[in-house]
Amino acid sequence: MLKLLIGFLLFSAVHAAVVQEGVFIKDTKFSKIANSMPELVVDHVSSRGFELYGPKGTKAWLDQIGVNYSSLDKTSIKSLAQTSYPSHEEISSFLKTLASKYPKIMKLESIGKSVEGRELWMVKISDNVELDEVEPEFKYISSMHGDEITGRELTQFWIKDLLEGYGKDARITELVDNTEIFVMPSMNPDGSKRKRRGNAKWKDLNRDFPNWTKNEANSWEKRAPETQAVMKFQAKRQFSLSANFHGGAVVVNYPWDSSYDRHPLDELVKDLSLKYAALNPEMRSSTEFTDGVTNGADWYKVYGGMQDWSYFWHNDLQVTIELSDRKWPKYKDIPGFYKDNKESLFVFAKSIHQGAGFKLKASNSDGSVRVTNLDTNSSLGSFGFSRGEFYKVLEPGNYRFEIAVGNKTKSFETSVSKDNVLTNGNFTYL
Ligand SMILES: [Zn+2]
């Protein structure tokens, strides 16, 4: 078999996470071998089997080496009328209508265009939405895999709920007043248009981000336009907590994805994941995952995913939330999925307030900050910041922040309590 594996490596393009062919394989033992091959993408490993994606020729190669496979369950996708889900154009006008109805708390921005020119919409929700205030920055991104559609709809429901609840619902008002919330319902509109995983060029966007385990630079060159748009946007902001939505399983997956090492905030990110899952009936009663959560690499390794990239380079703690076993459920089931996730979506976003940060008087300064946990006397690492602002989600405890801007240094100590109240008292002004 080894000879055939090597042969396959030679004839296909290197570094390209091209996902033109997809199959379902029952033999889970084969998932490890497949996952060690850079041109193949393994997804959703379960006791029943796993999905395998690769370039043209993948099926022929599987035939050659005698691995049995079946086709992916697309019957549910094909039998559905195109009209049951809103089109990209309908989503665009839905968001534009909301933005004009709620101009004080919602701003709609296109952060780039897909391969085929569709706008990549990013919604900002906050009080004084036109201003960049000193508030923790949170985000939700959905459907980077175009055929994993549930989150695209759920994030739109959530946007509408925040806007309609503002000024009426005390919890929502408090969250919107004290947080800069960003929501991107559709990162891969071309893929969703075709009901497929990859973008218009068959690129798997969740294998397209810089891979920290391979010492890749945090550079957007030569990446898909959808990946580039997210990378450029992230570099302009100071996100500290986020989630990205997928489908094909029901679980909260936390970093790292690409290393068996435990994340420096392992306890915290596991906590946040458990909190999300505990409020979702299907997750908390999962038979596949204990308490509805899993460490990423323990499930299966993902290289070049958005989740690892987000924390490694941007201090933005991110989890991957798989919302529905069916990637493309019947549209009439979407309100039910929203009902099951609504409280989790809110509570996870609110968790961003368990943390600490600072704002410098020189508001344009870029620098770096080292964060030390004083209770365990351990460093959480060094992080870059821009616009004189930095914020970090943290476990309850006592911390020291050592800031360097050019050759000037400053430091302060602060404490984080469990579920910090929703005020911005957790920022220190220096
Ligand atoms: Zn996915």
Cα 271 to averaged position of ligand 1 atoms, centre (Å): 22
> How many other CB atoms are there within 10 angstroms of residue 394's CB atom?
23
Cα 393 to averaged position of ligand 1 atoms, centre (Å): 25
Q: What is the pLDDT of residue 74?
A: 58
- Residue 266 pLDDT exceeds 60: yes
pLDDT in tens, 268-289: 999 999 999 999 999 999 999 9
Give CA–CA dist 258/311, Å, rounded: 12
Confidence of residue 39 (pLDDT cuts 50, 70, 90): confident
What domains, with CATH codes, occur in the chain?
2-72 (no CATH), 82-352 (3.40.630.10), 355-429 (2.60.40.10)
Q: What is the pLDDT of residue 424?
A: 53
Confidence of residue 2 (pLDDT cuts 50, 70, 90): very low
Cα 134 to averaged position of ligand 1 atoms, centre (Å): 33
Mean predicted confidence (pLDDT) in 74-87: 62
240 phi, psi to nearest 5 deg: -130, -10
Residue 180 among the catalytic residues: no
Q: Cα dihedral sign for 59, 43, 324, 338? A: negative
pLDDT in tens, 178-219: 999 999 999 999 999 999 999 999 999 999 999 999 889 999
The residue from 51, 148, 226, 322 that is catalytic is 322
- Its pTM stands at 0.92
The answer to whether residues 151 and 321 touch, using CB atoms and an 8 Å cutoff, is: yes
For residue 254, the Cα-to-chain-centroid distance in whole angstroms is 10
Cα 170 to averaged position of ligand 1 atoms, centre (Å): 34
Q: What is the pLDDT of residue 4?
A: 52
Mean pLDDT score across all residues of the chain = 92
